[in-house]
Amino acid sequence: MGLLRPPGDITQGVIWKHLMAFFFPLWFGTFFQQLYNTVDTLVVGRFVGKVALAAVGSTGALVNLTVGIFTGLASGAVVAIAQQYGARRWDDVRKGVHTAMLLSLIIGAFFMVTGFLLTPWALRVLGTRADAFPGAELYLKIYFLGMIPNVVYNMGTGVLRAVGDFKRPLYFLIAASVCNIVLDLVLVLGFHLDVAGVAIATVCSQVLSAVLVVVSLMRADMTPYQFFPRQMRLYADPIHSIMVIGVPTALQSVMYSASNLFIQAAINSISTDAVAAWTAYGKLDVFFWMTITSMAQSLTTFSGQNYGAGRYDRVKKSVWVSVALTAVFTAFISTVMFIFARPLVGFFCPDDDVLAVGVELVRFLVPTYITYILIELLTGAIRGAGKSLVPMIISVLGVCVLRLAWLFFVVPSHHTLLMVAASYPITWTITSVAIFLYYRFGRWLEPERASAQ
């Protein structure tokens, strides 16, 4: 095909440097993505009111549920393409890219239609409070109209990550964040569109980021991942690899989100102040999640390429390098959030009742963050090797089933926000032990399978 060898080879060199070179663009990219989500919350909470804040907050679990599905499928594309890239099978890389992009259009269209139609039903199932229901319904319907560009962007950046390009997704997210912030201020403060203005701003920023990533792939001249729209097809081998890896990952995310839907429903039944405090906490909590997921995504790409190249020793070493780095980051984040809980929560909602509940919640949960890191990192490495089924089963049983058991059998007799929140560290600890045992004794890293591909 006359292709030049593209950059992004991580099968040689210092492991921690590769991981950090991926981590920081991912972290800052996620930061800017969360920045415009945070601005949504900030603008609504300060300039519209706590009922509107509760309305936007009530949509979070549903949004995460849908996002988890297509990001899980996108992770299948990342691993499938990364493994072929590491093995230098350029034609398979090309087929994987075009399969992934067509799949993103199909998934986006499906969620756009079903999400829009099922929004009222889903909010009723969640027990969304009556005062927050109209705003939550309006926000979600507008949000679902932007599903296609949302999925296209995530799948496209997944392609870039698979080949080791973590910088351009960062640039695209910066542009989208600026777009969202400007439109938030214009539509909410200028045109007084309130919740609708925030949702419209989010969709517009997603359209911009999708256009940028598609154009960048189309202009990737003389590389195996250059995108040609007319070549989009569902090739058999790539779609099989994407589904084998992506479907269990998506199901795992769905189960996480489904359990969080029950969490949200339990919190909705407590009070509006509890819902608003949980929403504000979620905007602080995201600093931990963006750190752990950025490292896990870096590790998945690293594991995928090195697994494809047969460098199994580097896969194992990268796991413990990432664990050490993430433990340091987690300790720092937990300490800062614990000490500055009051001003941080107050930044999002100055209401005295919400502030009191939010500070208590933050100081209860942040010391337990360290119990989660093995789940995300070990799963990321194992997924990079193309094995996602067993981690999904462990997570479903250890996190989701146990969390639901806690909500149904413990919370009813101790109906408080902290008792609901306690389900997180308890299930994290149990699942961490289980996933470590599989990492240590399971047959997830098998050279025979890699060589047979």
Q: Which one-letter amino acid corresponds to residue 203?
A: V
Closest listed residue to residue 302, CA positions, set 83, 156, 97: 83
**Total Cβ atoms within 10 A of residue 320:** 12
What pLDDT, in 10s, does the model give residues 44-54? 877 777 778 77
CA-to-CA separations, 202 to 99, 151, 245, 424, in angstroms, rounded: 27, 14, 29, 29
Each domain of the chain, given as residue ranges in start order, spans: 15-452
Q: Above 70 in pLDDT, residue 3?
A: no
Chain segment 82-133, per-residue pLDDT in tens:
888 888 889 999 999 999 999 999 999 999 999 999 999 988 887 888 888 8
Q: Dump pLDDT digits (tens) for 378-423.
A: 999 998 888 888 998 998 898 888 988 998 898 888 888 888 989 9
In this prediction, residues 287-313 reach a mean pLDDT of 89
**Residue position matching structure tokens 């941080």:** 344
- More confident position, 279 or 449: 279
Report how far residue 193's alpha carbon sits from residue 186's, in angstroms, rounded to the nearest whole number: 9
Instruction: Tell me, rounded to whole angstroms, the distance of Cα 376 from its chain centroid.
Output: 11
Q: Return the higher-pLDDT residue of 241 and 373.
A: 373
pLDDT of amino acid 7: 53
Task: Give pLDDT, residue 232.
Answer: 94
| pLDDT bracket for residue 211 (50, 70, 90) | very high
CB 173 within 8 A of CB 154: no
pLDDT higher than 60, residue 1: no
* Torsion angle in degrees (nearest 10) through CA of 227, 232, 233, 238: 20
Binning pLDDT at 50, 70 and 90, where does residue 39 land?
confident
Report the sign of the C-alpha dihedral through residues 45, 49, 51, 56, in that order.
Answer: negative
Q: Do 277 and 345 form a contact (C-beta atoms < 8 A)?
A: yes
> What does the pLDDT read at residue 447?
56
Question: pLDDT at position 317, please?
Answer: 94
pTM of the model: 0.78
